[in-house]
Structure 1
Amino acid sequence: MKIICFNINGIRARPHQLEEILVRHAPDVIGLQETKVADDQFPLEDIHRLGYQALYHGQKGHYGVA
């Protein structure tokens, strides 16, 4: 099992970096820190398009994790 941890520092600003990591390393699980996005703005469709499922939690005024 391959697990990757990535401080994305804003998931909406860096979707290309996330996609590159997923394609290059094909992890089974990836943990994202500092997503900086509210739950209702999380790019869930993009994650699904890349073949992954997502569990995420953001809080107003906090950076959030996925």
Structure 2
Amino acid sequence: MARGTVLVFDKQQLYAQIQPEGGGESLTAYRAEIEAARLHDLQVGERVNYDVDSDGRISRISRA
């Protein structure tokens, strides 16, 4: 799993922008991944672990 920091979290739309720990472009965790992980209360600045699938999208997310 990779690690990153929550840059943006939208509680209404249920998505999060994650900045990878090693740098690079931010990634988006969408509603399905956030609901599956029960992370409805993420906070900006919180550290998370995540997996990226073959098309470059976050496929799984959890608290670090």
Q: TM-score, normalised by structure 1?
A: 0.26
Higher-Rg structure is 1
Give the number of the structure whose residues are more often strand, by fraction. Answer: 2
Give the number of the structure whose residues are more often helix, by fraction. Answer: 1
Q: TM-score, normalised by structure 2?
A: 0.27
